[in-house]
Amino acid sequence: MTPRFDTILITGAAGRLGTELRRGLAPLARRLRLSDITEIQDLQPNEDAVICDLADESAILALTQGVDAIVHFGGIPLERGWDAILNANIRGSYHIYEGARKAGVKRIIYASSVHAIGYHDLESQIDANAPHRPDGLYGLSKCFVEDLGRLYWDKFGIETAALRIFSSFPEPADRRMLWSYLSFDDCVRLVTAALTAPRVGFTVSFGLSDNTVKTVDNRLAAHLGYQAKDSAEPFRAGVEARTDAPDPKAPAVRHLGGWFVDLGHPDDKDKT
Among all residues, which ones are annotated catalytic?
Answer: 138
Considering beta carbons, is residue 42 or 83 the nearer one to a copy of itself?
A: 83
Tell me whether residue 15 or residue 257 sits nearer to a copy of itself (CB atom): 257
**CA separation (Å) from 93 to 26, 102, 112, 143, 178?**
23, 14, 11, 12, 31
Side chain identity, residue 108:
I
Tell me which residues in 47-86 interact with a copy of itself (CB under 8 A): 82, 86
Q: Does 212 participate in binding a copy of itself (rule CB under 8 A)?
A: yes
* Contact positions with a copy of itself (CB under 8 A) in 11-50: none
Would you call 35 helix, strand, or coil by DSSP? strand
Among 42, 45, 170, 237, which residue sits at the site for a copy of itself (rule: CB under 8 A)? 237
Which one of 165, 175, 182, 205 is in contact with a copy of itself (CB under 8 A)? 175
Taking the C-alpha atoms of residue 144 and residue 90, their distance in angstroms, rounded to an integer, is 7
* β-bridge mates for residue 50, sequence order: 35
- Choice from 33, 80, 133, 164 touching a copy of itself (CB under 8 A): 133
Q: State yes or no: residue 267 binds a copy of itself (CB under 8 A).
A: yes
Contact pattern for a copy of itself over residues 87 through 126, marking x by CB under 8 A: ---xx--x---x--x----xx-----------x-xxx-x-
Dihedral-angle region of residue 251 (phi above 0 means left; psi in -120 to 50 means alpha; beta otherwise): alpha
Alpha carbon 2 to its chain's center: 27
In the list 140, 182, 191, 208, the residue contacting a copy of itself (rule: CB under 8 A) is: 140
Cα 71 to Cα 236: distance, rounded to the nearest angstrom: 31
